[in-house]
A and B are shown apart, each in its own frame.
Chain A
Amino acid sequence: MANNKVSQDTGDLKLDRLSKHYGDFCAVDDLSLVVPDGSFFALLGPSGCGKTTTLRMVAGLEEPSAGTISIGDTDITTQKSYRRNVNTVFQNYALFPHLTIFENIAFGLRRRGVKDVKTEVENALNLVEMGHLAQRKPNQLSGGQQQRIAVARAIVNRPEVLLLDEPLGALDLKLRRQMQIELKRIQTEVGITFIHVTHDQEEAMTMADTIAVMNLGKIEQMGSATELYEAPKTAFVANFLGQCNLIKGKVTSRANGKAVVLAKGISFEVPLSRVATDNESVFVGVRPEKLRLDDTGINSIKDCVVIDRSFVGTSTQYLVKAPWDLDLVVFEQNDEGLHDLRVGDKVSLEWDPEHTFALDGAQDINAGSDLDDEE
């Protein structure tokens, strides 16, 4: 076969100082990262953050303005898309409407002149549990089924890296949950590197081993879901992943493994390991579920007022106004310790220093919090 020359490199995927400019607009800005071989990696960010552009450069569908892409020791930056050992699951699946499901999945195998197409396709169909649909056409399938076929069509080629571009975006919530688990299972089963692009933080946290949070063409922070959630390094990450309370203050001392931050006359303790800046001006951050409606802790704010309350099943969410111009979000678990406060009730808040973090105070305090969802 003439098209047999697909590169067969294995190893980590490396992006080195990768940039993509469209005229004056910089979609991806000097981005470097390493995706370990066999990992489930998520690129998470709001729309327009450059995550899809990054993915398309890896797929060979966009040419980088600068920088290199390599798999293992092979530079694939200028390699044509059809030569790369990389396959993509497209956002709206992009199945071939004129071919049967069988032929859709066989497409890549046939191009590479693989011998036993039938067995390979059947295995892929079984992997996504769609064996009975082989002779259908794509438009006879539901969204969820098309999604699985798109995954099978890519995975049957055993690529070195599988790219998933918002693959669950068009599915309803219940199906999306199901497919998240499914995709994770498939990844574990085949052991291929998955790079998953999404704007849905929950989706990224559910599936990925490592998440890179992107904003304005750069990586804000990279780490496991727990790391990003519990110890964000920027206001953008703190706000984009879940909800967060940020309190502006000044560092008054850094000693004995802890920093003391003064805000409106109240001092808060933060473990030094959780302070992400050397600046004096900081944001003290704490997640809503870490706050307790009590006043015995080291970090506490007294004389607050409940201004809103909503019951969401597992928890009750309060919006609480501090004695100054600051609203705090508090989640209280719906168990026997529930306070069941009403709007207008006076309350005190407290939380543990080890749940506190401190971020550079020069940032926009609302970064990453008011982004329109793509869906």
Chain B
Amino acid sequence: MAFVHGLNTAHSGAKSSLKSKSLTPYILLAPGLIWLITFFIIPIFSLASTSTMVRPEGAQIGTYVQELRFANYVDAFLANKEQYLRSFVYAAFATLLALAIAYPLAYAIAFKSGKYRNILLVMVVAPFFTSFLLRTIAWTQILADSGPIVSAIKVLPFVDEMFRINNTSTAVVIGLAYNFLPFMTLPLYASLERIDPRTLEAAGDLYANGFTTFRKVTLPLSMPGVVAGTLLTFIPAAGDYVNAAILGNPGTKMIGNVIESRFFAVVDYPTAAALSFTLMATILILVTLYIRKSGTDELV
């Protein structure tokens, strides 16, 4: 009798766990789903609808009605194509600069840091403990005309007396590279750290010197990190407006600055919304092409 009883409970137990199992994923998804719908899906539809609105003749500033005017996109783009293009150029240079700095750094942390590894990792993210704005403003001091870097460069021969970095495109790119450096370093570190050091030994054992080992084994194996890092740097850098505002000049405005001033200063919501959408679409296309090209899908 006891056996039959045990069998029964086991059976009903399996049944009830099956039932609760089918609900669990939805319960787990709910908070994220609600968040996404409230703060992403609804705003994005609202933004999309704003982008085709028109201010009626004679209406107050900030009053717009829906007229499905898709020409808003063309107008907004043509009026700002210079800043638009500049955003991607700056973001590309900043990404390359960040990669050049972060790769050796991540490599050193992953392979050469020994017991200091955790301290170094904390140091990589340490800048996040102060405000983004403050850190960017601090760069105006570092790059100041009488600051240490500019003074040091001026000592070199053939450097013009008027040489400066602050308020130039160079300063904006440096600022962007600096601010997004941790986003480059951490994924690089993660993928380098995952490499089995024995594969590097194996390369040496198979007649590859240090450089060839790097080129043929380390670099290809760290490509997922390179792709992730460059995306995490490029995407926010392309839409950034803080660095251009603080470290640049009126001639280094990026698309983020335009969107910001359209939204808040000019109160031209349709143009700002149209520019936001164009930026988003361009980044999506670039990212898709990049991931396709780098062919890292199977490595990730």
Contacts and interface: CB of A to CB of B under 8 A. Distances in A.
A107 B206 contact: yes
A92 B199 CA distance: 10
A163 to B, nearest CB: 9
Contacts of A154: 205-206
A121 B205 CA distance: 17
Nearest to B199: A94
Contact of A61 (B199, B204, B209, B221): B204
Interface in B184-212: 196, 198-199, 201-209, 212
Given A3-B209, A3-B212, A94 B220 contact: no
A153 B207 CA distance: 12
A82 B207 contact: yes
A98 B219 CA distance: 10
Interface in A138-169: 153-154, 157
Contacts of B81: none
Contacts of A61: 201, 204-205
Contact of B204 (A82, A91, A95): A82
Contacts of A112: 207
Contacts of B209: 3, 80, 82
Given A82-B208, A87-B206, A154-B205, 19 more contacts: A3-B207, A3-B212, A6-B207, A59-B205, A60-B205, A61-B201, A61-B204, A82-B205, A88-B202, A88-B205, A90-B198, A107-B203, A107-B208, A108-B206, A108-B207, A111-B212, A153-B206, A157-B206, A157-B207
B201 A94 contact: yes
Interface in B121-174: none
A97 B203 contact: no
A107 B217 CA distance: 10
A81 interface: yes
Interface of B: 196, 198-199, 201-209, 212, 216-217, 220-221, 223, 299
Nearest to A165: B198
A3 B173 CA distance: 40
Interface string A100-127: 0000000110011000000000000000
Contacts of A111: 206-208, 212
Interface residues of A, number: 27
B216 A107 contact: yes
A90 B201 contact: yes
A139 to B, nearest CB: 10
Contact of A3 (B199, B208, B217): B208
B217 to A, nearest CB: 6
Interface string A48-70: 00000000000111000000000
Contacts, number: 70
B204 A98 contact: no
Contacts of B208: 3, 82, 107, 111
Contacts of A107: 203, 206, 208, 216
B199 A87 contact: no
Interface in A1-42: 3, 6
User: Which secondary structure dominates where chain A touches chain B?
Assistant: loop
A87 B208 CA distance: 12
A90 B212 CA distance: 20
Interface of A: 3, 6, 59-61, 80-83, 86-88, 90-92, 94-98, 107-108, 111-112, 153-154, 157
A13 to B, nearest CB: 16
A96 B217 contact: yes
Contacts of A60: 204-205
Contacts of A3: 207-209, 212
Contacts of A83: 207
Q: Which of A3, A96, A154 has the most CB of B within 10 A?
A: A96
A87 B221 contact: no
29 contacts: A3-B212, A60-B204, A80-B209, A82-B204, A82-B205, A82-B207, A82-B209, A83-B207, A88-B201, A88-B205, A90-B202, A92-B196, A92-B198, A94-B196, A94-B198, A94-B202, A96-B199, A96-B203, A96-B217, A96-B221, A98-B220, A98-B223, A107-B203, A107-B216, A108-B207, A111-B207, A112-B207, A153-B206, A157-B206
Contacts of B198: 90-92, 94
Nearest to B219: A98
Contacts of A81: 201, 204-205
Contacts of B204: 60-61, 80-82
Contacts of A98: 217, 220-221, 223, 299
A62 to B, nearest CB: 10
A206 B284 CA distance: 61
B205 A87 contact: yes
Contacts of B199: 94-97
B126 to A, nearest CB: 33
B267 to A, nearest CB: 53
A138 B220 CA distance: 15
A183 to B, nearest CB: 18
Contacts of B201: 61, 81, 88, 90, 94
Nearest to B200: A94
A21 B212 CA distance: 30
